[in-house]
Structure 1
Amino acid sequence: MAVIKKCYRLGWLSGLLYGLVVSSSLLAADDNAAILPKVTVGQLVRLPEIASAYVPSRPIDVWIPAGYNSRQRYAVLYMHDGQMLFDASKTWNGQSWQVAETAQWLQQQGEVRPFIVVGIHNIGAARHSEYFPQQPFLSLPEAVQQQLYQLDRAPGVSLFAGAVYSDNYLRFLVTELKPYIEQHFATDPSREATFIMGSSMGGLISWYAQTQYPQVFGGAAALSTHWPGTFSVENNPIPQAFLSYLEQQLPAAGQHKWYFDYGDQTLDALYPPLQQEVDRLFRRKGFSAPLWHSELFAGTDHSEQAWAARLATPLRFLLAKPTKE
């Protein structure tokens, strides 16, 4: 218990994380789940509730670009924390990723292939349990797992709402949501046209999705990936568990796109040395441009505003037009 408690000792950074990560999941999910965001370009569609055998139901918003043509086939980008993607007037912090505006502009400029975006809302208190990569978590000693389950993200509020169930979250996405999208929208179902993206904990579940379902996803983008898993890196076994998992489970280089980025301010100040360890692993396994990219955005923090400002970079990377052979 001493190791985990030391790892999770409260301080300015944990308080900051409460504001930047916990509030974004809890407040956005609780207050705005029933409110349809507005977009200035394209169209946003709120899906009917999808009954799942694996996860609790939640809102799901699909953005389709202006000029959408049902006779065309569109790539699909699945994004986590869907309530934070489109409309800053509906979010807890008055910020959003501005996904519609950036995606529409890139498509109009001809810089990317035509695509739609599926924004999957988180469900608040269960976000950590849903997004934490399950197999690395289970690789930790049982005693460490139980210590993590006892952590609080705020006084009297558990970090984990229950057991980690990210494997079921991905089953929902792959076996229930993806078939629904393909049935109701004009999409290309192939791996080469299916992508996944998120930030912070959403970054973790994005790279994990591609290792678990390499036959489904052709590219993953992880922005400001929350490699510590908790609030600190001090005596924290989690980053090594992620590295060990990636060492064993990464698909062979040359088959998928992998994008990572990170800042160095606020919560992102924890990430540079951890991301650099991950980068070394990828290089050692033969990953290189143009299918692998990792970038430091110096001076940037852990916020939707920061991710919006650089969103065009991962979108260009994932959704570049296929080269003609």
Structure 2
Amino acid sequence: EIFVYLPPQYFEQPERRFATLYLHDGQNLIDPRTSHIPGQTWRAHSTVDRLAADGEIESLILVGIFHAGVRRITEYTPSSDPQLGGGEGENYARFLVEELKPFIDSRYRTLPETERTGLGGSSLGGLISLWTGFHFPGVFGRLAVLSPSLWWTRRSIFDDVERLTPEPKPRIWLDIGLLEGGRHVRNAAAMATLLRRKGWDGAHLRYVEEPAGTHSEEAWAARLGDVLRFLFPA
């Protein structure tokens, strides 16, 4: 299941085309009735519309991809853990690249170019966003990687990032909340260091440690504005 949110400008300017941001965990983005924690959402549509109206970001089409419920771990992980399972992330990424994006581009007035297409999520959604950006280069040129689960299968994502260098380099927002736990903060900082060593400069990488940040929808909602300002500036 997906939803597509079209900004007001989509209807006001019928000849215009728009950048697109694909976000995982679609249940948590807009509708408080479907969110993992009832009443807590990213408020993604209102944040996008407010910042676009203020001239801080370009207007965006939002595509929210609902996770598969009890199969969320399986869907969002590119490798299998002996205790936790998972490992169908490549199939999910191929669905995004080979089916969903072509469908959205054919149905709506998108700007389909790499630099006008973003992918993002939090936790395991952050992990699969980063993995997809490196394994399917030239599709998603903007990556929103919030509180990513970099620990998955003994930090195997580090091997992927070390081994692969997608061209063109995607612009990456990477963050972590300092209240999420020391191991997760250390992993995020190590990933930022690795990306910088591989050539991601300040124009292509923004790494943020949020002092009061927790692993929650409210924390990610609070950071979304800064994410959008970096990835899709006006």
Of 205, 208, 212, 1:295 maps to 208
CA RMSD after TM alignment: 1.6
Contact 2:9-2:59 within 8 A present in 1 as well:
no
TM-score (norm 1): 0.68
Of 280, 302, 320, 2:193 maps to 280
What do the CA deviations read for 1:261-307 (whole angstroms, capped 9, x no partner)? 00022x45431111111111112112111111111001210100000
Q: Which residue identity does 1:89 align to in structure 2?
A: R
| Aligned counterparts of 2:32 and 2:232: Cα–Cα separation in 1 | 25
Contact 2:134-2:160 within 8 A present in 1 as well:
no
| Aligned counterparts of 1:203 and 1:268: Cα–Cα separation in 2 | 17
The aligned runs of 1:258-277 (5 Å cut-off) are 258-265=172-179, 267-277=180-190
Equivalent position of 1:64 in the other structure: 6
Equivalent position of 1:117 in the other structure: 62
Larger Rg: 1
Equivalent position of 1:95 in the other structure: 40
Change (3 A) 1:275 1:64: same
Query: What runs of 5+ residues in structure 1 fail to find an aligned partner?
Result: 1-58, 138-144, 152-158, 230-236
- Identity between Structure 1 and Structure 2 (%): 35
Of 62, 71, 74, 1:129 maps to 74
What do the CA deviations read for 1:103-128 (whole angstroms, capped 9, x no partner)? 00011011111211000000111111
| Aligned counterparts of 2:9 and 2:181: Cα–Cα separation in 1 | 37
Equivalent position of 1:80 in the other structure: 24
Number of residue pairs matched by the alignment: 231
Equivalent position of 1:320 in the other structure: 233
Of 236, 246, 251, 2:166 maps to 251
| Aligned counterparts of 2:36 and 2:74: Cα–Cα separation in 1 | 21
SS at 2:140 equivalent: coil
Change (3 A) 1:291 1:92: closer
Contact 2:2-2:63 within 8 A present in 1 as well:
yes
| Aligned counterparts of 2:76 and 2:87: Cα–Cα separation in 1 | 8
TM-score (norm 2): 0.93
What do the CA deviations read for 1:57-105 (whole angstroms, capped 9, x no partner)? xx10011112313311100000000010002233241210000110000
Contact 2:49-2:59 within 8 A present in 1 as well:
no
Query: What runs of 5+ residues in structure 2 fail to find an aligned partner?
Result: none
| Aligned counterparts of 1:181 and 1:223: Cα–Cα separation in 2 | 24
